[in-house]
Amino acid sequence: MNAMQTRMQFQPLPQPLLCRRRFLFPVAAQRRQSRRYNPTITTIRTSFSLRVSNCIINSSSRNSVTEELKVLDEQKKPQQTRAYPFHEIEPRWQRYWDENRTFRTPDDIDISKPKFYVLDMFPYPSGAGLHVGHPLGYTATDILARFKRMQGFNVLHPMGWDAFGLPAEQYAIETGTHPKLTTMRNIERFRSQLKSLGFSYDWDREISTTDPEYYKWTQWIFLQLLKRGLAYQAEVPVNWCPALGTVLANEEVVDGVSERGGHPVIRKPMRQWMLRITAYADRLLEDLDDLDWPESVKEMQRNWIGKSEGAEVEFSVLDTNGLEGDINITVYTTRPDTIFGATYLVLAPEHFLLPSIVSRAQRRYVEEYKELASRKSDLERTELQKEKTGVFSGCYAKNAANGESIPIWIADYVLGSYGTGAIMAVPAHDTRDHEFALKYDIPVRWVVKPDDESCGDFIKPYSGEGISINSSSSISGLNINDLPSKEAASKVIEWVEKTGNGSKKVNYKLRDWLFARQRYWGEPIPVIFLDDTSEGVPLPETELPITLPELDDFNPTGTGEPPLSKAVSWVKATDPLSGKPARRETNTMPQWAGSCWYYLRFMDPKNSKELVDKTKEMYWSPVDVYVGGAEHAVLHLLYSRFWHKVLYDIGVVSTKEPFKCVINQGIILGEVQYMACRDLDGNLISADFVDVLGELNQERIPEEKVTKSGDYFVLKDNPNIRVIARAHKMSKSRGNVVNPDDVVSEYGADSLRLYEMFMGPLRDSKTWNTSGIEGVHRFLGRAWRLIVGSPLPNGTFRDGTVAIDDKPSLEQLRCLHKCINKVAEEIEGTRFNTGISAMMEFVNAAYKWDKLPRSIIEAFVLLLSPYAPHMAEELWLRLGHSDSLAYEAFPKANPTYLKESTVVLPVQINGKTRGTIQVEETCTEEDAFKLASLDQKLSKYLDGKTIKKRIFVPGKILNIILDPQNVKVGPR
């Protein structure tokens, strides 16, 4: 639409056309006499007005108008089956918001007003587009954003794209399409889908991690880390996938193969860039306490950081003659009090001492085991349920506490990256050690007795604290028998430090962050290596951004060299300071890099001079509400917190933490699938017997053939056959993905938004059910017809509303303010489903009223607007307002109307209570008596009787005294 068309669309029509429209649309024209006409009421009429507004109304144009009306009638026919015309309303208001930049947050804002920064974990724009699970969190944040705008807050609600990463590169390799083109196409698709759902994002602040103007500052942050010794290179064992030609993170490896493609993954040492996140371990741990995060998320981070206090203990390796040599194995233990129970040592397969201690006879077996272990990820190796495996080294070590010789084993359940890569195994008091000892026939010695002796049967391992037993030695002089665990541990630490056999130690599970990928599609690392010395030199900040070169071949090199090494002219560089020839770093940053700090760039996305303006950062920080999936509860949030703390230390940000409140929305599962079981002969078998009979065949049963019976589902035709009812996570492979585009087309965006919020609590997982969305769609249709009126015979709706300017009744005010109070309270508490229920109750009550006062309906429309913004905007326009309601004040509940206005009044007949009636607190004696007379239960005592007198205490009691001559003694 060009500028002239835009201007015409939002201007009143020329007067001659208005006269003609009175003839064509007499009812609508008369209604518009009372208010300013806004041609955005229907898309069809707008386009019609644009074509004829400058025409002279003559006979020929009259004929064209007649033809236009025929087209209008044909286009309106499908509306007859719709609850309300969402197909017209929603695209129109989405265009209006776009053209008017309704939700733009200005760069210069009134900082005296309160702020609200609400953020979604920005998505990776995959080629598959959105499914209905994605909008769950987005709808929640949009409701909060719209609500806070209406409460007078400056709201920051942006959207962007986490667009670097392996999937786009793999697609490029498979199809020959440049990942830039794939990414741009996917972003367009995602953006279009998000806009179709009416989310109030400030699209002027849209960012992509692949934009050089964005990753310039990602590179700048890396340089700050490098300056402070927080970025370094080291030779470390990594998950190397030869087929993909890159290092994979632990979470990208499943069962020894890459999550993407299913290619074999091995462990191999490589020189890699690392970030020293461990330097911030204590601060990352301590600052969790002050965050408004789910306790489960905080606990996951605490466990991932894994701070523990214990001791490092030295064990001397014995030579072939059983004498102590020059090699010591250092182990870390959190339970030094169990040292007397250590009956063997375990080294990780990658431990640096293996070549020095493995016997000649065992060397081949150890090498084979190392090869097998290299194909497993750290997560697989440490899984508690897996069977323990290992191999004997052929050597022994001395336990200095008791002088015993104990065997040294190699096992993959010990990681080289944790502690020292070696443990003292105490099988009586550690489940993994116990399983291993039983498998390989290693002695088990109990050295801790539970305080409650009934807890210890000396058969199963006991890992708790208690009293030390079997823990003394005349050889070492150490005796901790009968001491509580903590006291015994302190005494052992004191002994190892005194004898030179170890020291007190604080340890962490957290490892430094592996920060290099052998990929093309990622941020280049701003470092060069001098040709003559191979010294790494950081590039000056003035050189940023270091942009990716154009490549046609993204395939792995097969040598371990990253694809960027193929860009020969790009790799060649010159040191800007010394002028020496150099080569660029050809590894790229991991996908995590760009997502670590994007929340800051949204505050100031166009700043070319600094990462973020200090004034803007001080106003908007921290993010007030951050919503995303629980799968990011550890790594993304931990990495973001680490970078934020570094930026805090160098004065870029003003807060210690980036996200004040984190909410993990639940997932939406596909519709329930019903499976019937058949035995190998094809006979139907009830699901009750599945575990007993073992192997069975399953077949999917249509929902209409299944019925609920108690807590289970059974076949309608054979209730003795219980079927399996199960909902799965949406995936293409299961064929249970629901495309939001299809839902919007059939029910409208407002219905999808409302349904996803109505399904249940935001944080819970929920099962998609199409009949459920039909229910909320009917509710929106009822709300529409309540305010606009019933459809006309041709299925269309009148222009205005049925609201009148009468003063509302006390009942209507109470009903409204009860709804206001509930909706506002539930939005604040992110209990959106119960807020919708309150609006449903209001609509049910309003249908019983004879008249709809405008003030009541306008307030209800404002309540509805955060949930169903398209419908609310349309109704607001029809109520006579020319501007969007996005910044209208959200209604406030008046406490006066929230008080219970009725009381239960006991009614006595001749002093005996015969029943109760519901009356207003201000009810008079006469009104109370009338209500009692009309009550079915009480009226039988009064019919035909003479009233001698009435005793009325307002709000307390009504006592009716009858003439004794007319009173029956009792029932006969």
Domain finish residue from 470, 487, 508? 508
The predicted pLDDT at position 214 comes to 98
Reported confidence tier of residue 687, pLDDT bands at 50, 70, 90: confident
The predicted pLDDT at position 176 comes to 86
The CATH number covering residue 474 comes to 3.90.740.10
Angle between helices 166-175 and 179-196 (to 10 degrees): 120
Pick the residue with more confidence: 24 or 731?
731
870 within domain boundaries: yes
The 3-state DSSP class for residue 479 equals strand
What total of structural domains would you count in the chain? 5
Q: Which of 166-175, 493-502, 626-635, 950-959 has the lowest mean pLDDT?
A: 166-175
* 419 and 399 housed in the same domain: yes
pLDDT tens by residue, 108-167:
999 999 999 999 999 999 888 888 888 999 999 999 999 999 999 999 999 999 999 888
> What's phi and psi for 480, nearest 5 deg?
-120, 15
Residue pair 780/868 in contact (Cβ under 8 Å)? The answer is yes
pLDDT of residue 10 exceeding 80, the answer is no
Closest CA to 133 of 598, 628, 745: 628
Average pLDDT of the chain to the nearest whole number: 87
Closest CA to 904 of 878, 923, 887: 923
The predicted pLDDT at position 254 comes to 78
Cis peptide bond N-terminal to 853, omega within 30:
no
Q: How many CA atoms lie within 13 A of 556 on its CB side?
A: 15
**CA separation for the pair 410, 125 (Å, rounded):** 44
541 within domain boundaries: no
Long-range contact pairs involving 601-605 (C-beta distance under 8 Å, separation at least 24): 601/207, 601/214, 601/217, 602/119, 602/156, 602/158, 602/160, 602/205, 602/207, 603/156, 604/107, 605/158, 605/205, 605/206, 605/207
End-to-end CA distance of the chain: 87
The predicted pLDDT at position 139 comes to 97
The predicted pLDDT at position 259 comes to 78
Q: What mean pLDDT do residues 103-107 have?
A: 96
Q: What mean pLDDT do residues 825-848 have?
A: 97
pLDDT of residue 651 exceeding 50, the answer is yes
User: What share of the chain in percent tops pLDDT 90?
Assistant: 64
515 within domain boundaries: no
* 356 and 398 housed in the same domain: yes
Residue pair 525/531 in contact (Cβ under 8 Å)? The answer is no
525 within domain boundaries: no
User: What share of the chain in percent tops pLDDT 70?
Assistant: 89
Closest CA to 802 of 856, 748, 844, 866: 856
Residue pair 244/166 in contact (Cβ under 8 Å)? The answer is yes
Residue pair 178/549 in contact (Cβ under 8 Å)? The answer is no
Reported confidence tier of residue 824, pLDDT bands at 50, 70, 90: very high
Torsion, Cα 566 570 572 575, to 10 degrees, reads -140
* 118 and 144 housed in the same domain: yes
Q: What is the pTM of this model?
A: 0.80
The predicted pLDDT at position 11 comes to 35
Cis peptide bond N-terminal to 545, omega within 30:
yes
Look up the domain containing 921 and give its range. 902-962
* 709 and 638 housed in the same domain: no
Pairing of β 766-767 and β 668-669: parallel
Pairing of β 684-685 and β 422-425: unpaired
DSSP code of residue 417:
T
167-206 in b/e form (b: 16+ CB < 10 A) is bbbbbbbeeeebbeebbbebbebbbebbbbbbbbbbbebb
* 630 and 707 housed in the same domain: no
* 619 and 680 housed in the same domain: no
The CATH number covering residue 818 comes to 1.10.730.10
pLDDT tens by residue, 474-529:
999 999 999 999 999 999 999 999 999 999 999 898 989 999 998 899 999 999 99
Residue pair 688/712 in contact (Cβ under 8 Å)? The answer is no
531 within domain boundaries: no
Q: Judging by beta carbons within 10 Å of its beta carbon (0-12, 13-18, 19+), is residue 459 exposed, middle or buried?
A: exposed
**CA separation for the pair 17, 752 (Å, rounded):** 39
483 within domain boundaries: yes
Domain finish residue from 476, 508, 540? 508
* 907 and 931 housed in the same domain: yes
Reported confidence tier of residue 81, pLDDT bands at 50, 70, 90: low
Residue pair 628/665 in contact (Cβ under 8 Å)? The answer is yes
pLDDT tens by residue, 283-341:
999 999 999 999 999 999 999 999 999 999 999 999 988 899 899 999 999 999 999 99
- Tell me how far CA of residue 15 lies from CA of 4, 11, 27, 34, 55, in angstroms: 19, 12, 17, 16, 12
* 677 and 793 housed in the same domain: no
DSSP code of residue 542:
G
The predicted pLDDT at position 32 comes to 33
The predicted pLDDT at position 936 comes to 84
How open is the CA angle 380-382-386, to the nearest 5 degrees?
70
Q: What mean pLDDT do residues 95-111 have?
A: 95
- Tell me how far CA of residue 861 lies from CA of 98, 878, 894, 919, in angstroms: 22, 11, 17, 31
* 478 and 341 housed in the same domain: yes
62 within domain boundaries: no
The CATH number covering residue 944 comes to 3.10.20.590
Angle between helices 179-196 and 740-747 (to 10 degrees): 30
The predicted pLDDT at position 286 comes to 96
The predicted pLDDT at position 966 comes to 58
3-state secondary structure 22-39: HHHCHHHHHHHCCCCCCH
The predicted pLDDT at position 727 comes to 83
Domain finish residue from 486, 508, 530? 508
* 631 and 676 housed in the same domain: no
700 within domain boundaries: yes
- Tell me how far CA of residue 878 lies from CA of 89, 787, 799, 861, in angstroms: 12, 9, 7, 11
Q: Which of 148-152, 650-654, 865-869, 968-972 has the lowest mean pLDDT?
A: 968-972
Alpha carbon 962 to its chain's center: 69
* 175 and 315 housed in the same domain: no
**CA separation for the pair 902, 779 (Å, rounded):** 29
pLDDT tens by residue, 572-612:
999 999 999 999 999 999 989 999 999 999 999 999 999 99
* 705 and 843 housed in the same domain: no
